[in-house]
Amino acid sequence: MKVPQLADLPIGPGARVLVRVDYNVPLDHGAVADDTRIAASVPTLTHLVRRGAVAVLLSHLGRPRGHSDPALSLAPVADRLGQLIDAPVAFVPHTVGPAAEQAVAAAPPGSVVVLENLRFHEGEMANDPAFAAALARLGQFYVSDAFGTAHRAHASTVGLPSRLPAAAGLLVERELSALDALRDHPARPYWAIIGGAKVADKLSLLEHLLDQVDGLAIGGGMANTFLAALGHSVGASRIEPDQFDAARHLVEAAGPRLLLPEDVVVAPAFAADASPRVAPVGGVGAAEFVLDVGPATLARWGQALASAALVFWNGPLGVFEWPAFAGGTLAAARMLASLPAQVVVGGGDSGAAVSQAGLSGQFAHVSTGGGAALAYVQGLELPGVAALAPKGQL
């Protein structure tokens, strides 16, 4: 999708630029535990401060539901950003109002100001016009560099860019370019690996991909529903009986293009410390839980994808948050990194797996927005991207 780019804005020294970033990062005892999203914003911020602008950063963190919560303050995020960028970074414990306006006005050219959590205000998620107007008073330009929130119609993603000259930041430009290649002109053969917990959450994605790809592999918890729908025992695993008909329809429509697990990692309890074992599909005990894909499955998938030119991967292949059952997801990351194909990772837990495996630099693109990436790949309009279009082109 064509949107105004950062270079299109006439930003000069001293200009105040509101930058919507996605700093919804994990914290551990008050410190940033994973700075991937913060680091991803640095190229855009560096571009602005080198032009002498004041970059005024807007982000949410967690779900405070319109109330201040010290545990969800962006102060530690600002501290981490200050370690990653060659520019002064100031944190302001306000989001809108006179105190925020005074702090922004006092910021020197070539500096960064991080405002407090947007979601401390109910007006953010409600896309309240008054809140958007209060944000707009803080700057002269708007830059969207938060692809992870582009599928949300909030005040900072939709209401604000309607009030100021707006453009996509460098991160959003990269995201759209990489995902356009999937959506509009994919290289062939084109494969997708889709994981995750529930078929219902990704049914529309699977149906869309089936019309686009040359091959589709399904793992994660939702593979249990597919296996059960085909008559295989998945023991005590969580399944979605109301999705059996949809699963069987997809299997029939895909034919040999659809790959499901042929072996799985099971455990006697749904627990992080349960003892795992590998079992063939059809060899799962009645009281066992399927918690990961098995090695034979990944070997088969690797062979099938060996000739792929393009691969899209989204979603974990097991209970990735438990180390004993993260092996399949991490092995998939390593397998994909070894392919000569162009591999695009659709964010979320699959992006976290790539980061955990230390492989981020070995993929064509790792998206910072799981939900936004899935929506865009399906051809859905992202409100936060559509809002950047010049008036009359919406």
13: containing domain: 6-171
C-alpha span between 9 and 181 (Å, rounded): 26
CA dihedral 262, 268, 270, 276 (to 10 degrees): -60
> In Å, how far from its chain's centre is CA 182?
16
Claim to verify: residue 143 and residue 245 sit in the same structural domain? no
Claim to verify: residue 196 and residue 133 sit in the same structural domain? no
Claim to verify: residue 154 and residue 224 sit in the same structural domain? no
Claim to verify: residue 164 and residue 200 sit in the same structural domain? no
Which pLDDT score is estimated for 1?
A: 67
Locate all alpha helices (DSSP H) within 166-280, ordered by sequence: 170-183, 199-210, 221-229, 244-254
Q: Active-site residue among 174, 198, 277, 334?
A: 198
Tell me which of 126, 144, 171 is where a domain ends.
Answer: 171
Q: ∠ CA 42-45-47 to the nearest 5 degrees? A: 110
Residue closest to 57 by CA, chosen among 110, 86, 85, 16:
16
Q: Which residues pair with 166 in a beta bridge?
A: 142
Q: Examine residue 322 and state whether it is found in any structural domain, yes or no.
A: yes
What CATH number is associated with residue 20?
A: 3.40.50.1260
CA dihedral for 242, 245, 246, 248, sign (positive or negative): positive
Q: Active-site residue among 315, 327, 348, 370?
A: 348
Claim to verify: residue 72 and residue 102 sit in the same structural domain? yes
Q: Which residues have CB under 8 Å from 29's CB, separation 6+?
A: none
Locate all alpha helices (DSSP H) within 85-196, ordered by sequence: 98-106, 122-125, 129-136, 170-183
Claim to verify: residue 199 and residue 62 sit in the same structural domain? no
Q: Active-site residue among 52, 82, 283, 371?
A: 371
Q: Examine residue 299 and state whether it is found in any structural domain, yes or no.
A: yes
Claim to verify: residue 29 and residue 55 sit in the same structural domain? yes
Q: For residue 371, indicate whether it is catalytic.
A: yes
Indicate left, alpha or beta for 21 from its phi (over 0: left) and psi (-120 to 50: alpha).
Answer: beta
Q: Which residues have CB under 8 Å from 335's CB, separation 6+?
A: 298, 301, 302, 305
C-alpha span between 263 and 55 (Å, rounded): 51
Longest dimension (CA), the chain: 68
Helix, strand or coil, per DSSP, at residue 365: strand
Q: Examine residue 159 and state whether it is found in any structural domain, yes or no.
A: yes
Helices 199-210 and 221-229: angle between axes, nearest 10 degrees? 80
Which pLDDT score is estimated for 164?
A: 97
Which pLDDT score is estimated for 269?
A: 97
Q: Active-site residue among 37, 51, 152, 202?
A: 37
Helices 170-183 and 370-377: angle between axes, nearest 10 degrees? 40
Q: Examine residue 343 and state whether it is found in any structural domain, yes or no.
A: yes
Claim to verify: residue 296 and residue 321 sit in the same structural domain? yes
Claim to verify: residue 195 and residue 272 sit in the same structural domain? yes
Q: How many domains does the chain contain in total?
A: 2
Q: Which residues have CB under 8 Å from 346's CB, separation 6+?
A: 312, 313, 314, 315, 367, 370, 373, 374, 377
- Per the confidence metrics, is the pTM higher than 0.85? yes
Residue closest to 61 by CA, chosen among 85, 77, 79:
77
Per-residue pLDDT of the chain in tens (394 residues, 90 and over written 9): 689 999 999 999 999 999 999 999 999 999 999 898 999 999 999 999 999 999 999 999 999 999 999 999 999 999 999 999 999 999 999 999 999 999 999 999 999 999 999 999 999 999 999 999 999 999 999 999 999 999 999 999 999 999 999 999 999 999 999 999 899 889 999 999 999 999 999 999 999 999 999 999 999 999 999 999 999 999 999 999 999 999 999 999 999 999 999 999 999 999 999 999 999 999 999 999 999 999 999 999 999 999 999 999 999 999 999 999 999 999 999 999 999 999 999 988 888 889 888 998 899 999 998 889 999 999 899 999 999 987 544 3
Q: Examine residue 374 and state whether it is found in any structural domain, yes or no.
A: no
Q: For the chain, how many residues are written?
A: 394
- 94 to 32, 156, 328: CA distances (angstroms): 20, 15, 44
Residue closest to 46 by CA, chosen among 6, 80, 94:
6
Q: Examine residue 370 and state whether it is found in any structural domain, yes or no.
A: no
Tell me which of 171, 201, 231 is where a domain ends.
Answer: 171
Claim to verify: residue 110 and residue 202 sit in the same structural domain? no
Claim to verify: residue 24 and residue 166 sit in the same structural domain? yes
Q: Examine residue 391 and state whether it is found in any structural domain, yes or no.
A: no
Question: Tokens standing for 147?
Answer: 């692809």
C-alpha span between 272 and 324 (Å, rounded): 7
Q: For residue 348, indicate whether it is catalytic.
A: yes
| Residue 189, preceding peptide bond in cis (omega within 30° of 0) | yes
C-alpha span between 1 and 173 (Å, rounded): 10
Claim to verify: residue 335 and residue 196 sit in the same structural domain? yes
> In Å, how far from its chain's centre is CA 273?
28
